Amino acid sequence: MNPQNGTVVVIEDDPHIADLVDLYLRRDGFRVLLARDGDQGLNLIKESDPWIVILDVGLPGKLDGFDVCREIRAKGIIPVLFLTARDDEVDRILGLELGADDYLVKPFSPRELVARVRAILRRTRETPVVHEIVSVGDLEVDLRRREARRGGEVVALTTREFDLLAFLAANLGLALSRQQLLDGVWGADWYGDERTVDVHVAQLRKKLGESLPLATVWGVGYRLG
Ligand code: CA
């Protein structure tokens, strides 16, 4: 991990939980900014360009955690770790609409939270970079800025969608199996199955346009370029 730790925005209205998260993250070297509702949180995100957002589902005011996550997604790529009081919200949290990077169900151990934050940041900020920008036709995958552009226009992707695109771009022209993609993007300990890859590829095609040079290689998997 970089010696220079980044900023974490924590959006949580329960002061006890917020203080605990604040304490443990600061102890681990992060700069922590706390918000008690969605509006305040979105302002902090805009001002501080955080590395990750920790987001409670149930928030006071007009925006709940799901609304806040959609706003974050609409504006760019920042990883989101959800806090939830309910097991039955997990499918929605990890689903395509919100595409959160991880979640914890309350009550959780603050040490576990720090470990999860570290794991997300390892995945999203320490991808080995071969070329800074990979170009295929009018698609540019900017690995340093973590941006995908089509015809010069930035396309909003979830962190996982970008990671998948970046992994394909780092292996330009090579057919990769679904298992290779799962291991490379989701990590060996991911519990999902290979359809996860298909669903995310479909999302990339939808967002980046059907003419995207992302080919299905029958009997193998996928290839970019
Ligand atoms: Ca709450």
Domains of the chain, by residue range, sit at 7-125, 133-224
pLDDT category, 52, cuts 50, 70, 90? very high
- CATH code linked to domain 133-224: 1.10.10.10
Q: Do domains 7-125 and 133-224 have the same CATH topology?
A: no
Rounded distance, CA 88 to CA 134, Å?
A: 40
pLDDT tens digits for range 67-100:
999 999 888 789 999 999 998 888 888 877 788 8
pTM over 0.75, yes/no: no
Ligand 1 mean position, distance from CA 65 (Å) = 9
- List Cβ neighbours of 209 (8 Å cut-off, separation of 6 or more): 150
pLDDT at 73: 86
- CATH code linked to domain 7-125: 3.40.50.2300
pLDDT at 92: 85
Strand partners, 80: 53
Ligand 1 mean position, distance from CA 173 (Å) = 46
Long-range contacts of 187-192 (CB under 8 A, 24+ apart): 187/123
Percent of the chain with pLDDT over 90: 63
The predicted model gives 193-204 an average pLDDT of 92
Percent of the chain with pLDDT over 70: 96
Ligand 1 mean position, distance from CA 189 (Å) = 29
